[in-house]
Structure 1
Amino acid sequence: MTTPTHSIHHAAAEGYQANADRYVKGRPDYPPEIAVWLRDVIGLHAGMTVIDLGAGTGTGKFTPRLLETGAQVIAVEPVPQMLEKLSAALPQVKTLAGTADAIPLPDESVDAVVCAQSFHWFATPQALAEIQRILKPGGKLGLVWNMRDARVGWVRKLNQIVDSHEGDAPRFYTGEWRKFFPFKGFEPLQEQVFMLGHRGAVEDVIYNRVRSTSFIAALPQPQQEQVIDRLRQLVAEEEELRGQDTVTVPYQTKAYFTTKV
């Protein structure tokens, strides 16, 4: 295994360190169907061990969903500020500093690895080989993303504002992460899609959500504010958003899994 830290993309390292608090405020939770998916598809229950790989802050997001299964949860996260918040919020979770290509755990030691909002950052053959190494035979790899539903017109415009600043940051929507599948030693990926509405104050579900985007958070402060100004203009122009204290941002939750042969 290599030393953790080498494979953290600069946008993640800079953006998430600077904006751990906004990440908590701005990110949506996950739909209720994820609980069923974790139990019936990933097969999590008491007596099992699951890795939350690229766990982020854990607070109010995916890590609690894993805890609800009764499995032992180990969070692996390379950004210290995120790991610190997770440890404080969820002391029952074991936390490890590490990257996807350097997971500090023994061979064939866990029943499942789940990556929520994270796999696109480390989609490499090295990471998949490392995940395969720590999984027991028959163990599951789960990949989950919440994505704003761009079939809605104003959401598509919002995404265009955000995406214009992505630079070389890896993104789920490009599909680049999929080119590593099928991967030798894993069965073909299977997909399920769930719907989710993220309702809350405009400041949180739109502005703080965008501020929490890694490559936006990594921008100099004046440029970040320019992005937010463009979003405020969008909100003022769109009939569904104009004058609303609270809004619902539509999401699709895409969940994938594969099994170690």
Structure 2
Amino acid sequence: MREHIHHAAADGYKTGADTYVRGRPDYPPQVADWLTGTLGLNDDKTVIDLGAGTGKFTGRLVATGAQVIAVEPVPQMLDKLSAAFPDVLAVSGTATDLPLPNASVDVVICAQAFHWFASPEALSEIARVLKPGGKLGLVWNLRDTRVSWVPKLDAIVNALEGDTPRYYTGAWRLAFPHKAFGPLQAQHFGHGHTGSPEDVIFNRVRSTSFIAALPQAQRDKVDAQIRALVEGEPALRGKDVITVPYVTAAFVAVKSG
């Protein structure tokens, strides 16, 4: 299956699962209403958590009462998810090879994941397992660049991305329009990730796939750059607890027919 996974994900997430759990932000409360209202999840529905990772979004889906099937190709991430959610069916799979029957689920959710596999082939496979009128949800947590120091942090990270697919490039949008789906509809929610700088800044950056895949010496250099940024920003310097501002982008497309 490795040939179907981008090398940054295969290498970075293999070694960075623990850091991912500590460093990734949660999702805002408004997501609960989006899941039940816009996507219609309830205890009569079945939902795939596609590219589920360590299960950062899985708990949100469980809370709707729906039957949740978590699909993730990186074994180390899937192990973390299974330990956190032992009652969730967790299976190995990719967006172009879902181990499920035709028209078997009501909703497919990709949280922090769709940019990895955005393609007509993936959308066709997602459409295959969705029931007629089923919904595809795409969710991303994004640092809010309207806060002055955030673009400086992003610049440190972005300089190392190489060929890694990412939300902000917009390349994922090229998979749309797709004949199996109606138009994308978007909503945005603001929130913050509050905690120690070690977790909400350092571990968040360390959990980035292409950062986690770097040799130790280069990862140390990234840490040093971030440390210099923190020490140079009055809003961050000397703080035991900080809040990193985020915007959550949530999209939905309905399967035709």
Give the TM-score range, shorter chain: over 0.9
Match of 1:75 among 63, 70, 73: 70
* SS of the residue 2:245 aligns to: strand
What is the aligned counterpart of 2:234 among 235, 239, 258? Answer: 239
Distance 1:182 1:5 in 2: 28
Instruction: State the partner residue of 1:154.
Output: 149
Once the two structures are superposed, the pairs formed by residues 140-179 of structure 1 within 5 Å of their partners are 140-179=135-174
Shift of 1:5: 3.3
Corresponding residue to 1:33 among 30, 33, 38? 30
The separation in 2 between residues aligned to 1:97 and 1:179, in whole angstroms, is: 26
Q: Distance in 2 between matches of 1:171 and 1:12?
A: 11
What is the deviation of 1:151?
A: 1.4
3-state SS, counterpart of residue 74 of structure 1: strand
Please state whether the residue corresponding to 2:168 is helix, strand or coil. coil
Q: CA deviation at 1:65?
A: 0.2
Counterpart of 1:51?
48
Query: Residue 184 of structure 2: which of 171, 183, 189 is its match?
Result: 189
Aligned residue among 73, 84, 88 for 2:83: 88
Structure-1 residue corresponding to 2:3:
6
Please report how far the alpha carbon of residue 181 of structure 1 lies from its aligned counterpart in structure 2 after TM superposition. 1.0
Matching residue within 233, 252, 256 for 1:257: 252
Deviations 1:41-78 (A, max 9, x none): 010000210000000011xx210000000000000000
**One-letter amino acid of the structure 2 residue matched with residue 207 of structure 1:** F
Structure 1: which 5+ residue stretches go unaligned?
none
SS in 2 for 1:173: helix
Return the alpha-carbon distance in structure 2 between the equivalents of residues 142 and 6 of structure 1.
25
Distance, in Å, in 1 between the alignment partners of 2:88 and 2:178 is 30
User: Does the 8 Å contact 1:5/1:99 carry over to 2?
Assistant: no
1:175 CA drift (Å): 0.3
The percentage of aligned residue pairs carrying the same residue is 64
Unaligned runs of 5+ in 2: none
> Partners of 2:157 and 2:241 in 1: how far apart?
21
Deviation at 1:182, TM superposition (A): 1.3
Quick check: 2:104–2:130 contact (8 Å CA) kept in 1? yes
CA deviation string 1:155-210 (max 9, x = no partner): 01000000000000000000000011111020100000000100000000000000
Partners in 2 of 1:196 and 1:146 — Cα distance?
9
The residue matched to 1:153 in structure 2 has which SS? coil
Q: CA offset at residue 255 of structure 1?
A: 0.1
Q: CA deviation at 1:103?
A: 0.4
Asked whether 1:130 is paired with 2:125, we answer yes
Q: What TM-score do the two structures reach when normalised by structure 1?
A: 0.97
Contact 1:5 1:98 in 2 (8 A): no
Contact conserved, 1:196 with 1:252, CA < 8 A, in 2?
Answer: yes
What are the Cα deviations for residues 68-120 of structure 1, in whole angstroms up to 9, with x where unaligned?
Answer: 00000000000000001111110110011001000000000000000000000
- Greater displacement, 4-13 / 222-231: 4-13
Offset, 1:140: 0.3
Question: In the alignment, what sits opposite 2:114?
Answer: 119
Distance 1:12 1:64 in 2: 22
Tell me which amino acid in the other structure corresponds to 1:44. L
Asked if the contact 2:11/2:213 (under 8 Å) is kept, the reply is yes
**Partner residue of 2:16?**
19
CA distance in 2, matches of 1:81, 1:237: 36
Q: CA deviation at 1:153?
A: 1.3
When structure 1 is superposed on structure 2, of 4-13 and 149-158 the one drifting more is 4-13
Q: Given residue 31 of structure 1, which amino acid in structure 2 is its aligned partner?
A: P
Q: How does 1:58-69 map to 2 (within 5 A)?
A: 58=55, 61-69=56-64
* Alignment partners' CA distance in 2, 1:117 and 1:63: 12
